Structure 1
Amino acid sequence: MTKLQPAANHSGLDAAAVASGIEPHPAGVIALDPVLAGIWELAAPYLKVRDNDAHTLYAFGLARALLDAHPEADAAVVLPAILLHDTGWSQVPPGDVLAAIAPGGGRPDLVLLHEKEGARLAADILIECRYDRIRIPAILNIIDGHDSRREALSIEDAIVKDADKTWRLSPHGIDTVMDWFGLDRGQALRLCSQRVHGHLFTAEAQAMARALSALESVTLWPQRNACLADLETGAARSRSRA
């Protein structure tokens, strides 16, 4: 679970006073605007397959960061595309979803099916949301080929592809892949690294991916585990004294 509340206040400072000095909208902190939130609400029921709903939101965050580095890209194409790109997995038999992307094999026919079905569902959702019809064809072209197509059609396509792949190396991505295939964290990290590095289009995504791999590597180091053990020992002593 993601830590949302503090376990302690080691500084002894008044937390409300510290919080009062925090900017409400610093660079890098993002949110869904009302139009995109409306698209998400319609897409979410189709994304409850193999944790695709959470995957989609994290990939959205990566895409938004990549857009900051590429002002020439059309965010009004990229962001709906990333929100809708995996809706098509809902149309693949549940027992076949993971077989479609399994290491050492896979089902390319099912990958293609989810892309085609995703484009179909995305068209319906965008029309229902009364989204800009001029941009809909570009969004659908990205979705229909986001996994199977080896080249990028545009900078918008490159950003969607890169955000989708780079998610695999995020903490949530590693957690998810572990449970998909019954791998320990080290195995999942190595699998995701070999499936991401060398397969990204933008220099910014390549840098993100390298950073995520490095951070995940450190979580596996014995030195890091020793730090955690020391923290647990200290917490246990504090509880015993109390």
Structure 2
Amino acid sequence: MSDTVSAALVGATGGAGTTRTTLELAATLANDGRDVTILDAAFATQGLADYLDGRLDTDMTTLLVEPETPLEAGLVDVPLPDAVAGRVACVPASAPFERFARAKTAEAARRFETRVAEASEAFDHVLLDVPPVAANQSIAAADAAQRVVTVTPATDRGAEANRRIRDRLADLGIESHATIATRGRFEAADAFVPATDASFPASLDASGEFAPTVAHAAEVVVATELDLEFEEQSVLAGVDGYLPSSLRRLTK
């Protein structure tokens, strides 16, 4: 396997589905035998914590305001089927307001780079769940990643929001490497994730359209190739062209 790749999934707008998309990408990479961690920069919504059970004594804000706390103290494994060879572990944001405020300072936010580097020593891929870049921690998280991928709804408003967020990133000197569309497609997107009513992790069900399209999105996000098989079915004709040759060959 290649060296660790870190990637920031940056929402172009609120409600883009960035957290769910990040989780599905992580599950797909784990299904390919890779160990993945997700670091949470979405302090306002705390959505990543909703996918985890139990009390979260050490969260992402703790790791930013207490540099002596080891990364391992904040890792929480995401339950996946036994057949999945890899691992997904998250460090969600879930804290009282006072600690959120301290974690948003410039000094604390800069520690994202340190935490990404630590995670890169232990995992094959590091994904960052990042809201639209505005606050210190979201800017620092995007800047700390090797690759930056914007996530936007496949609507006219979403496309315009994607243009604005990419311009904002460019103003900050942060390169955008790709765009993932959610709940549909639009021309400027490099990959898409279709809408689904299925519960997480829907990307582990190889019988429908969702899994192969998420697999392609994962390849785009971390610039890799996956070795996954999907059931042959006519619905895949609708996503042909979004699947790389390594995956498309396995579906025919």
Bigger helix share = 1
Return the TM-score normalized by structure 1: 0.30
Rg comparison, structure with higher value:
1
- TM-score (ref. length: structure 2): 0.29
Higher strand content, 1 or 2: 2
Q: Which has the higher contact order (CA 8 A, sep 6+)?
A: 2
